[in-house]
Amino acid sequence: MSQQQSAAPAPAIATVARRRDWWRDAVIYQVYPRSFADSNGDGMGDLEGVRARLPYLRDLGVDAVWLSPFYASPQADAGYDVADYRAVDPMFGNLLDADALIRDAHGLGLRIIVDLVPNHSSDQYEWFKRALAEGPGSPLRDRYHFRPGKGENGELPPNDWESIFGGPAWTRLADGEWYLHLFAPEQPDFNWEHPAVGDEFRSILRFWLDMGVDGFRIDVAHGLVKAEGLPDLGGADQLKLLGNDVMPFFDQDGVHEIYRQWRHVLDEYAGERIFVAEAWTPTVERTANYVRPDELHQAFNFQYLSTEWDAAELRKVIDRTLEAMRPVGAPATWVLSNHDVTRHATRFANPPGLGTQIRTAGDRDLGLRRARAATLLMLALPGSAYIYQGEELGLPDVVDLPDEVRQDPAYFRGAGQDGFRDGCRVPIPWTREGSSYGFGAGGSWLPQPASWGELSIEAQTGTAGSTLELYRSALSVRRAQADLGAGDAVEWLRSPEGVLAFRRGEFVCVANTGGESVTIPAYGRVLLASGELTEADGEAKLPADTTVWWTTA
């Protein structure tokens, strides 16, 4: 059997992908291109590699594929420093490869969502290079945030903002001026008060929409507009404020006018194209502002991603999310892992309170058991769900990468993000054996653990009880059950401490987040369970860290 195919017949996704409001209950799979599949043996994943593996994604049962950046870039931040938004970086292929990937995906019934990076460009972007060359007073400097410094000779930064990656958010040039970069110095922030910036990005949107993409994931969607005058934070602990408070460079109200303009562009095109916001906001209520009817369609639910494996805390964030999205008519989204955080199979293996960035492997068996249970819980909730490549294999973070192979720019700057994002970006395994476990013929750009082979698609395909087959079954059941998918409410059921139980029509989900087995009512016919379940006399014994799906029909 091909490593790209599952034992089950392909679901009828092509029909589903064409229906209206597909995005309200879509399961969207994130592909990190450099780590997905390498077609030419250079150790780096590419678009042709993604294209060749599309049948695997179809058979998995997802509705759409989100591609992390593949644009021309010096790769100072893994492609999130874009030098040309209308070109493919040669390491990934070319525009013909992108066109072929989009066409093949559509032929398989899959939608394609591409990353867009509007907060900042690369320092090799033509505008920025010309702004540097022309010097102070150049009109092109107005398209970024250039400022004179403070101090007697301008030797101090214009304000006290810090880079998300650590260190000051300003870099001084030889001509004396400073420029703003909320991330790496190679990523200067655009000035969205300048009309040329908006004009350029509306043109970029149309370029990719004309190519046939079905939507955009907007990187740092909360960061485009800065507070007037770029005010100091006044000594506040910036890292503690991130995601917990409105800041002068994040979640400013002015971003919403930009997205209303973008929505007009999107609505020029047929086929229900969508926008997805990466918007780190203090509350789900503020996140809801991004998905009002005339703005974006979805926004990542980072409050949910950041919640511990705890029934009470999960119920709070689920209720609050559904309540926040209901007035704006947008679907809730649910996500457990992505390319910026520790994979949840490792996160849940560690003691609570460590956050989304973890440096230790923890109890791997416990982490995987909880990750499987959390997945079934997530897929049972109303709205849309996101899957990060490899989580369907139960991949843990690789926490023991040697320092010399790390590439996360935050790792090389002090006092910023954790800097260990490389651990969730290690290329995924396709086969039991080989120099890169089927990733490509020439090894992989980050080293893979020796255990990768037994976690591969080949090893798990057709294996009863494997995490891959659990995902395939869950997505198949989700598609078949009329009460799953879109919606904005759950009916909570009485349950023991540490257990979440809710009903959606004739569907019931029960998740035991506690450390002991519990006895609960048997709600009907079992559809799927993340672990062993025993039933007798109308009751069921649900093990610790296990989720079960029932139908009462």
Gyration radius of the chain's alpha carbons: 23
- Give the relative orientation of helices 364-380 and 467-480 as an angle to the nearest 10 degrees: 10
The continuous run of DSSP H or E covering 335 comes out as: strand 333-335
CB 149 within 8 A of CB 105: no
389 closest CA partner among 107, 67, 63? 67
Q: Tell me the CA end-to-end span of the chain in Å, nearest whole number.
A: 36
Q: What is the token pair recorded at 507?
A: 């569907």
CB 276 within 8 A of CB 219: no
Q: What is the token pair recorded at 282?
A: 């203090």
Q: Is the dihedral of CA 173, 176, 179, 182 positive or negative?
A: positive
As annotated, the active-site residues are 219, 268
Q: What is the token pair recorded at 91?
A: 């390491």
**Beta 507-512 vs 546-551: how paired, if at all?**
antiparallel
Q: How far apart are CA 224 and CA 295, in angstroms?
A: 15
Residue type, 146: F
Residue type, 243: G
Q: How far apart are CA 161 and CA 390, in angstroms?
A: 36
